[in-house]
């Protein structure tokens, strides 16, 4: 049973650091969101749309996590937003310690909203508590309507599930009823919002939801 | 350095079991392919197209790995193909031991081609040696052309990179040159094949490649 013991130790150490992140964010009055999705589901595009609508109204910062490259941080940074890049060095997720290192290196004063773009992965990021306020996931239409059934943990921990790329519905098979039934089984309380970062559909609904959760 | 030591132990134990898989496959004359991709990139659709073209010509078996559900195994099983389901119980990848358990439970006599559909994940499955003959990955057009730059390990170990959903090119931004340049940087020897499981484009090229690798 050694392997299980090791895993438990790592996860409980992670949870202690997540609590530290929670306290730090509270102390600085920062509302933090962990944004998760498969590779290419539209995390960076959603960030750009969100920044576009909230810039000037809220202090926003972004943490970009990638296994390699700084392509996304470069895109966000060009919007004039405080952006920190985490390269996980091969790791398939952000853990509480990586987030803690990023938070410690940032000037959090004046930041109302901090969004962490996690590594593109529908599995591992869901396993690590980070100490954030909300977990949000994107599932995109071309990935198919069966994803809630096949990756239940991620769907079960998300406060909001965004269905992106609705503009592609005419060109692929996607049954919204099957998708939302799947989400309902594992997480009936999740907000379900249809969006298209390409056409702008639903982005206002998402931003309203986010502001509501922030108490704004 | 304890964590690193633990990881090394796990990986070296994995490699020993991968060698055992290799010997078992050789002994039974089975050519094994590890098929990897993001969630929803088209692994099961490719399997169905491949089976459609090779059924009756080769003995084919499939191992379906999912975190949860048997949706894919049900689809493949309905084609009359020997299908084994691995539920990884939350794990984000198939390791050599899971494959070994599956191989030990199968009748491998008369099987020429065994395809393992790995868990939908562009990160972790690339880290575990399995003892198979070829690693094949699918990257799909709606995921974007930057994936080789952001998930380099997976692209670096693939013998073939299939670009699926080319039928969606008119509706999304995708620069084939940027994509293939990225693959070229990390893995200049990889075969690069454009396919659409929806229209059938390129499926014959993929099957020809596969048969060539099998020496058929």
Whichever domain contains B120, its CATH number is 3.40.50.300
pLDDT value for B53: 96
Whole-number Å distance between alpha carbons of A132 and A130: 6
**Unique residue bearing structure tokens 């008369």:** B110
Q: Is the pLDDT of residue B3 over 90?
A: no
Whole-number Å distance between alpha carbons of A91 and A101: 15
Q: What is the mean pLDDT of residues A143-150?
A: 97
pLDDT value for A167: 98
Interface residues on A facing B, Cβ-Cβ cutoff 8 A: 3, 6, 10, 38-40, 66-69, 71, 90, 92, 119-124, 127, 140, 142-144, 146-147, 149-153, 165, 167-168, 171-172
Interface test with B, best of A65, A142, A168, A171 (most B CBs within 10 A): A142
Computed over every residue of chain B, the mean pLDDT equals 94
Q: CB distance A68–B142 less than 8 Å? A: no
d(CA B68, nearest CA chain A) in Å: 5
Backbone angles phi, psi at A101, to 5 degrees: -60, -40
pLDDT value for A57: 95
Per-residue pLDDT tens over the stretch B72-126: 888 988 888 999 999 888 889 999 999 999 999 999 999 999 999 999 999 999 9
Q: Which of A42-51, A52-61, A70-79, A116-125 has the lowest mean pLDDT?
A: A70-79
Q: What is the mean pLDDT of residues B178-186?
A: 98
pLDDT above 70: percentage of residues in chain A: 96
Q: Is the pLDDT of residue A2 over 60?
A: no
ipTM of this model?
A: 0.90
Q: Is the model more confident about B185 or about A71? A: B185
Q: Is the pLDDT of residue B6 over 90?
A: no
Structure tokens at A60: 């926003």
Per-residue pLDDT tens over the stretch B195-209: 999 999 999 999 999
| B165 vs A contacts (CB less than 8 Å) | 142
Q: CB distance B67–A123 less than 8 Å? A: yes
Handedness of CA A43, A44, A49, A50 (dihedral sign): positive
Give the domain range for residue A196. Answer: 2-213
| Residue of chain B with shortest Cα separation from A45 | B144
| B119 vs A contacts (CB less than 8 Å) | 123
Grade residue A11 by pLDDT with cuts at 50, 70 and 90.
confident
Q: B148 with B183: CB under 8 angstroms?
A: yes
CA distances from B26 to A170, B23, B51, B129 (A): 46, 5, 22, 16
The DSSP line for A23-39 is: HHHHHHT-EEEEEEEST
pLDDT above 70: percentage of residues in chain B: 96
Q: At what angle do helices A43-54 and A203-213 cross, to 10 degrees?
A: 70
Non-local CB neighbours of A81 within 8 Å, separated by 6+ positions? A51, A55, A60, A61, A62
Grade residue B9 by pLDDT with cuts at 50, 70 and 90.
confident
Give chain B's domain count. Answer: 1
pLDDT value for A85: 92
d(CA B128, nearest CA chain A) in Å: 13
Q: What is the mean pLDDT of residues A175-196?
A: 98
Q: At what angle do helices B203-214 and B43-54 cross, to 10 degrees?
A: 70
Q: B57 with B108: CB under 8 angstroms?
A: no
Q: What is the dihedral of CA B28, B92, B50, B109, to 10 degrees?
A: 20
Residues facing A82 on adjacent strands:
A61
Q: Is the pLDDT of residue A68 over 90?
A: no
pLDDT value for A25: 98
d(CA B147, nearest CA chain A) in Å: 8
pLDDT value for A212: 98
Sheet holding A191-194, edge to edge: A82-87, A60-66, A113-117, A31-37, A134-140, A160-164, A191-194
Q: What is the dihedral of CA B41, B193, B95, A96, to 10 degrees?
A: -50
Degrees to nearest 5, angle at CA A202 with A196 and A204: 125
Q: Is the pLDDT of residue A48 over 60?
A: yes
Non-local CB neighbours of B48 within 8 Å, separated by 6+ positions? B75, B76, B79, B197
Structure tokens at B129: 């040696």
Grade residue A80 by pLDDT with cuts at 50, 70 and 90.
confident
- pTM (predicted TM-score): 0.93
Q: CB distance A150–B92 less than 8 Å? A: no
Whole-number Å distance between alpha carbons of B32 and B210: 11
pLDDT value for B189: 97
Q: Is the pLDDT of residue B19 over 70?
A: yes
Q: CB distance A165–B142 less than 8 Å? A: yes
Structure tokens at A22: 């929670």
Interface test with B, best of A87, A123, A125 (most B CBs within 10 A): A123
pLDDT value for B1: 41
Q: CB distance B152–A67 less than 8 Å? A: yes
| A172 vs B contacts (CB less than 8 Å) | 168
Structure tokens at A198: 């390409």
Q: Is the pLDDT of residue A1 over 50?
A: no
- Distance, CA of A215 to chain centre: 19
């Amino acid at each position: 049973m050694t392997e299980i013991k090791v895993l438990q130790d790592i996860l409980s150490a992670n949870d202690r650091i997540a609590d530290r992140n929670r306290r730090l964010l509270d102390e600085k009055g920062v509302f933090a969101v962990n944004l998760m999705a498969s590779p290419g589901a539209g995390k960076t595009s959603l960030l750009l749309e969100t920044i576009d609508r909230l810039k000037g109204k809220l202090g926003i910062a972004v943490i970009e996590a990638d296994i390699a490259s700084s392509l996304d941080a470069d895109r966000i940074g060009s919007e004039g937003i405080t952006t920190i890049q985490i390269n996980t060095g091969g790791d398939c997720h952000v853990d509480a310690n990586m987030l803690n290192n990023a938070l410690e290196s940032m000037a959090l004063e004046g930041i109302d909203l901090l969004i962490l773009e996690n590594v593109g992965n529908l599995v591992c990021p869901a396993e690590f508590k980070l100490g954030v306020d909300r977990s949000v996931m994107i599932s995109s239409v071309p990935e198919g309507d069966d994803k809630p059934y096949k990756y239940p943990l991620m769907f079960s921990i998300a406060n909001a599930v965004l269905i992106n790329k609705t503009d592609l519905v005419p060109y692929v098979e996607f049954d919204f009823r099957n998708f939302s039934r799947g989400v309902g089984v594992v997480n009936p309380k999740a907000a379900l919002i249809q969006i298209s970062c390409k056409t702008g559909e639903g982005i206002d609904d998402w931003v309203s939801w986010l502001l509501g959760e922030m108490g704004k």
